[in-house]
Structure 1
């Protein structure tokens, strides 16, 4: 049987151009591109803000096992992603994948994806194929972009 760790803590440094406020277990980030808010009520940790000029978020977990100690690092990773997203934003480049032919329809700023083959509803399946084919859109590239003014 493993012993529990008495105290585990993680810190995240907050840049000067980002304003962070904490209300209970909810963190609100304000930056040049807008506001992000995240609720950490389901995680049993202590959150505190330190410093006036150079702000720092302090996450404490008392008497936790291995999985509970990982929550402190998870919260820090979420806050770090919010810190990157508030000043720069995120750009997701996606590409369609699948086993069926697709039609891509561009209208305005939206892209719709339609399956080109018509599969009849009245078809009886005699020898079922157990393989799984996933149709849809997969993430091709994730990057930061200051040029995303439409999103």
Structure 2
């Protein structure tokens, strides 16, 4: 069954400007600028006012209409990123061999930095995860065995954390017994809400 017209409204907070040109969304806020290419999704944008945008799908089937909410969420994530940012905390879990993590200079990453992981399960292999541009990582000073990853783009921050977690997968052993690794322990914002 075709839905004749489906739409979602998106509110734009104060201090944020939203610019849409040929389905490339550019959001500017107090923390910087983020953009997202949405050309692959058939939706129309209509700026109702400076504070509201309507996203519409014409003659869409069920899956096409489901993409509508996805587009709204993607733009909402951009708005959150340029206003308060994203911060993920990762904890090192080990039973015997302590995991050593450092932030090093790297030529392979776009930002020039990488997360270096040593002594995982006592292995001599050194693991490196490049940190993308716009994302920063640091070893926590308040909490032992904690890595803090933060930035404006939710996709890049969460992908960096996923890469760190995936590079520390235990192979050829019973993962119920060997629970070692680096895991996301908390998700939040850089600018803490009062």
Same fold (TM over 0.5): yes
Structure 2 vs 1, CA of residues 104 and 58 (structure 1 numbering), >3 Å: closer, same or farther?
A: same
Which residue is equivalent to 1:143?
A: 188
Aligned residues: 134
The 3-state SS of whatever aligns with 1:17 is: coil
Which residue is equivalent to 1:112?
A: 116
Which residue is equivalent to 1:34?
A: 32
Structure 2 portions without partners, runs of 5+: 105-112, 125-171
Structure 1 portions without partners, runs of 5+: 120-128
Contact 2:121 2:180 in 1 (8 A): no
* Aligned-residue CA RMSD (Å): 2.9
Going by fraction, where is helix more abundant, 1 or 2?
2
Worse-matched range after superposition: 72-81 or 54-63: 54-63
Deviations 1:1-27 (A, max 9, x none): xx2111100010111210111111111
Which residue is equivalent to 1:71?
A: 67
Structure exhibiting the larger radius of gyration computed from Cα positions: 1
Which residue is equivalent to 1:91?
A: 87
Q: Partners in 1 of 2:34 and 2:183 — Cα distance?
A: 25
Which residue is equivalent to 1:60?
A: 56
Deviation at 1:79, TM superposition (A): 1.0
Q: Partners in 1 of 2:42 and 2:95 — Cα distance?
A: 44
